[in-house]
Chain A
Amino acid sequence: MSKESFLESTIGRKMVMALTGLFLISFLVVHVSINACIFLNDGGKTFNVASHFMSHNPVIRVLEIGLFIGFILHIYMSVKLTMKNNKARPVKYQVVDGKANSKWYSRSMGILGSLLLLFLVVHLGNFWVPTKQAIFNGQQHNTFDSMKNIFSLDNWYFIAIYLLGVISLSYHLLHGFQSAFQSLGLNHRKYSPLIHQVGIWFSIIVPLLFALMPISMAFGIIR
């Protein structure tokens, strides 16, 4: 009987998804903490120091490459996984009662992830690209000011895309956070209920903090 390599197996691929997913979650913690400096409402002083550190420190530069690899692996495996799943049921049911046995967001991880990807492209275009350009051209770059420019009510469509992005993130994590532990085999009668609780709170608090940033800037609460 044949054996397959770890990375060709459904379980192995799912573990890569889980590990990269948890890595992306750890990135979110850093990202939301730094951005939350704008809530100090000090005209972006603290925030700009933190964001300058993040865009210039050599250790962070290396981690940034890791982050890109993490995203690419996560997306690559999700495409592989979705392709296999589409092939696994060539003839669809006439009637499916999905809500009877699972949550809609658990069944929509691919769509939620794709919305996230869409958001990411816009997001990188808004911040990452200009910052890199400025560094490349040896210019000063004030991230706080560009945030204020982007998040104005005139740019309501950006705000809409960002809100769509964080809502997708919230539901993606509502399933993904606990799912990653299950995929890695970390299911435990004592700790799993705790992991589920932490997952729910994380999926609410982090996207909520992100959502408050464009909103409070657009309405001039942070200036």
Chain B
Amino acid sequence: MTINLKVWRQKNNADKGRLETYVVKDVSPDMSFLEMFDVLNERLITEGKEPIAFDHDCREGICGMCSMFINGRPHGPKQGITTCQLHMRSFNDGDTVVVEPWRAAAFPVIKDLVVNRSAFDRVISAGGFVSVNTGNAKDANNILIPKPDADDAFNAAACIGCGACVAACKNSSAMLFVSAKVSQFALLPQGQVERAERVEKMVAQMDEEGFGNCTNTGACEAECPKSISLENIARMNREYLSAKLLANKK
């Protein structure tokens, strides 16, 4: 099949950037979307042109590095998958496909389709951890956890930090990501000690990074490759309210 690609090219953060058109011929329907980019990049290199920079790592849907905004949607037209899991059979011969980077003030473009997602790392460093004494590993069933809680915590922990939620949101809000990270600890006994502290600090960092204000459109949940639920956002709202309201401190 032949694909008419329109790809966002931007030399660096200072460059304004523009869409450039590439006609990619002999695309196999079994290729992944990123493999099509590999083929195109090989051609660009042999032509002596600058290849298109894009993020990727595991290429099996678990690392969260790949990040393409395809025809107006993060990770393309399919539900519940990352860009690396998208295959060309999801497109038709002759299709025009527009590919852009995630766009948010908090995710500045480094080059072409690569954006800097360190803002997420800083939100995690602000409180997305549990402080534990090192030592021998504890017996797995020392702390009993109800199965429904374990399931909810696990589902929240499935977030791979790809940033599609921010990319999809009309407000560039990071609430789905942050709420998943808050929830995975708030639901488990190990997370209780720093529970109030954690949500306050992570939300403060989220706001400082310049992510937008959630208006509950639900676009994040619909586009999340790990189907992280909006329930997490409501949970974080509760956690935040009780941390601010009930904490017996100044």
B contact residues around A179 at 8 Å (CB): 215-216
Say if the beta carbon of B66 comes within 8 Å of chain A.
Answer: no
- In the complex, residue of chain A having the shortest beta-carbon distance to the beta carbon of B17: A91
B38 at interface, CB cutoff 8 A: no
Q: Which residues of B contact A15 (CB under 8 A)?
A: 237, 241
Measured between alpha carbons, how far is A182 from B221 in the docked complex, in Å?
14
Tell me the count of chain B residues lying within 8 A, CB to CB, of chain A.
Answer: 54
A109–B215 touching, CB < 8 Å: yes
User: Beyond A95-B98, A101-B168, is A84–B201 a contact (Cβ under 8 Å)?
Assistant: no
Interface pair A89/B105, CB less than 8 Å apart: yes
Tell me the residues in window 170-205 of chain A with beta carbons closer than 8 Å to chain B beta carbons: 175, 178-179, 182-187, 189
Query: Is A88 touching B171 in the complex (CB atoms < 8 A)?
Result: yes
Complex CA–CA separation, A1 to B238 (angstroms): 21
CB atoms of B240 and A11 under 8 A apart: yes
Taking a contact as CB atoms under 8 Å apart, the answer to whether B219 and A3 are in contact is no
Contact with B along A89-114 (1 / 0, CB 8 A): 11111111110111100110100000
| Contact yes or no, B204 A97, CB < 8 A | no
Q: In the assembled complex, how far is the CB of residue A103 from the closest CB belonging to chain B, in whole angstroms?
A: 8
A3, A14, A179 — most chain B CB neighbours (10 Å): A3
Tell me whether B170 is interfacial, beta carbon within 8 Å.
yes
Determine the chain B residues whose CB is within 8 A of the CB of A81 once the complex forms: 213, 215
Instruction: Determine whether A140 belongs to the interface, using a CB cutoff of 8 Å to chain B.
Output: no
Contact A185 B241 (CB under 8 A): yes
B8 CB → nearest A CB, Å? 8
By a CB distance below 8 angstroms, the chain A residues around B217 are: 101-103, 106-107
In B85-135, which residues have CB < 8 Å from any A CB? 98, 100, 103-106, 126-127
Q: How far is the CA of A106 from the CA of B170 in the complex (A)?
A: 10
Q: A9-B207, A10-B203, A98-B170 are in contact. Are A91 and B215 (CB under 8 A)?
A: no
Q: Is the CB of B219 within 8 A of A84?
A: no
Could you tell me if A182 and B234 are in contact, using CB atoms closer than 8 angstroms? Answer: yes
**CB atoms of B73 and A84 under 8 A apart:** no
Complex: A100 Cα to B204 Cα, angstroms:
31
- Contact among A13, A96, A101, A106 for B213, CB-based, below 8 A: A13
A97 to B233, CA, bound (A): 23
Q: Which of B8, B204, B213, B222 has the most CB of A within 10 A?
A: B213
- Cβ 8 A contact of A101, one of B71, B219, B230, B234: B219
A184 to B218, CA, bound (A): 16
B213 x A182 contact (CB < 8 A): no
Q: Which of B161-215 contact A (CB under 8 A)?
A: 168, 170-173, 200-201, 203-208, 210-215
Cα of A31 to Cα of B15 in the assembled complex, Å: 55
Question: Nearest chain A CB to B36's CB is how many angstroms away?
Answer: 18
A107 B170 Cβ-Cβ under 8 A: yes
* Chain B residue at smallest Cβ distance from A109: B215
Shortest CB-to-CB span from B43 to chain A, Å, is: 23
B234: chain A residues at CB < 8 Å are 182, 185-187
Q: Chain A: which residue is nearest B18 at the CB level?
A: A94
| Chain B residues whose C-beta falls within 8 Å of the C-beta of A90 in the assembled complex | 105
Does A4 belong to the interface (CB within 8 Å)?
Answer: yes
**What's the nearest-Cβ distance from chain B to residue A3, in Å?**
5
Q: List 15 extra interface pairs beyond A4-B208, A100-B72, A186-B234, CB under 8 A.
A: A1-B127, A1-B205, A4-B204, A10-B203, A11-B214, A11-B236, A15-B241, A85-B170, A91-B103, A93-B103, A95-B71, A100-B222, A102-B219, A107-B217, A179-B215
Please, could you name 9 A-B residue pairs with CB atoms under 8 Å apart, sorted by A?
A3-B200, A13-B213, A15-B237, A81-B215, A98-B72, A101-B73, A179-B216, A185-B237, A186-B234
